[in-house]
Amino acid sequence: MLHIVNKSPFDKNSLESCLSCAQDGSAVLLYEDGVYGAIKGSAYAERLQSAMSNITVYALEPDVKARGIADKVIDGIKLVDYNGFVELTAEKEAVNSWL
Amino acid sequence: MKYTIQINEGPYTHQASDSAYNFTKAALEKGYEIFRIFFYHDGVNNATRLTTPPQDDRNVITRWSELAAAHDLDLVVCVAAAQRRGIADADESARNGKDADNLAPGFRISGLGQLIEGGIIADRLVVFGD
C-alpha cells in the first residue's frame, strides 16, 4: 500500500493517522505541505523516524525544493520526482490519499 | 497501468489541481493510460472557461483543456457538485432555465457513476484534494 499525505503534521493530523494505520512494509509519500513532516530536528521528526523502521518514507522533491527544505530532510527519506511518484503508485497494489 | 484521477479541490486554492496535473502528465509520459479524470466537490471549479488568471500566472483550466485535447482525456465533472457551484454546459443551462453556460472545452458533465466506473476499470484511483 502507498499512503500519500499532503498536509503538514503541524497543521492537520493526517500524517499521524496515516502512520498509526500504515502496515509494516508499506510506503508513505509526503507531498505538497506534507513535506514539512520531513524536516530534520522538528517536533515531529522523532515520530516519523521511529515509523521509518517499518515503513519507507518518500518526499516529492519539487515540493521539498519549493519550500526551501531540501538540505533539511531527515536522513533515510527518499526524494522522488513526479516520475517517481507515478512509479510508486504503479509498484504498490493500492494508493490511499490521506486528505 | 491504467489510472483514474479524482480532483476534489478548485484551482488556485492550495495545490491539488497542480499536483494532479503534474502527476497526470508524468503518467502519460511514461505511456500509462489515464482512463478518466473526475472533478468532484470544489474540483468542479477547474472546469469553467470564464476563469481569467493574470497573464503571468498559469491558466489551470486551459492547461487541463489542452492536455485533454492532446491525449484524448475524459474530463468528467460531477453534475450535482457543478449545479451547486454554477458550472454548466449548454444543455444543463437550458434544463435549469439559466441564461448562460461556462463549461470549458474538453470537459463533460455527468454523474457519480462515472467515478465508480473509473474506480472499477482503472488499476489505480489516485485522489487529489484538500
Task: For B14-33, write each residue's pLDDT tens digit.
Answer: 999 999 999 999 999 999 99
pLDDT bucket at A46, cuts 50 / 70 / 90: very high
> Measuring CA to CA, which residue among A15, A6, A59 is closest to residue A34?
A6
CB pair distance less than 8 Å for A83 and B29: yes
User: Is B130's Cβ below 8 Å from some Cβ in A?
Assistant: yes
Give the total residue count for chain A: 99
Give the total residue count for chain B: 130
Q: Which of A82, A83, A93, A95 to mutate to test the interface with B (most CBs of B within 10 A)?
A: A82
How confident is the model over A61-80, as a mean pLDDT?
A: 98
pTM of the model: 0.97
Q: Say whether A20 sits in a helix, a strand or coil.
A: helix
Mean of per-residue pLDDT scores for chain B: 98
Angle in degrees, CA B41, A57, A13, rounded to 5: 45
CB pair distance less than 8 Å for A83 and B1: no
CB pair distance less than 8 Å for A83 and B16: no
Q: Which amino acid is at B49?
A: R
Distance, CA of B40 to CA of A48 (rounded, Å):
32
User: Is B4's Cβ below 8 Å from some Cβ in A?
Assistant: no
pLDDT of residue A63: 98
CATH match for B2-128 among 3.40.50.10420, 3.30.530.20, 3.30.1310.10, 3.40.1260.10:
3.40.1260.10
Point out the residue among B3, B23, B129 whose CB comes nearest to the CB of A99.
B129
pLDDT tens for each residue of B66-97:
999 999 999 999 999 999 999 999 999 999 99
pLDDT of residue B86: 98
Query: How many CA atoms lie less than 13 Å away from B20 in the CB half-sphere?
Result: 34
Domains and CATH numbers, chain A: 2-98 (3.40.1260.10)
pLDDT bucket at A5, cuts 50 / 70 / 90: very high
Domain ranges of chain B: 2-128
pLDDT tens for each residue of A13-33:
999 999 999 999 999 999 999
Phi and psi torsions of B32, nearest 5°: -80, 155
Q: Look-up: residue for cell 444543463? A: B92
How confident is the model over B85-110, as a mean pLDDT?
A: 98
pLDDT of residue A41: 97
CB pair distance less than 8 Å for A95 and B124: yes
| Cβ count near B33 (within 10 Å) | 13
> Measuring CA to CA, which residue among B4, B19, B95 is closest to residue A85?
B19
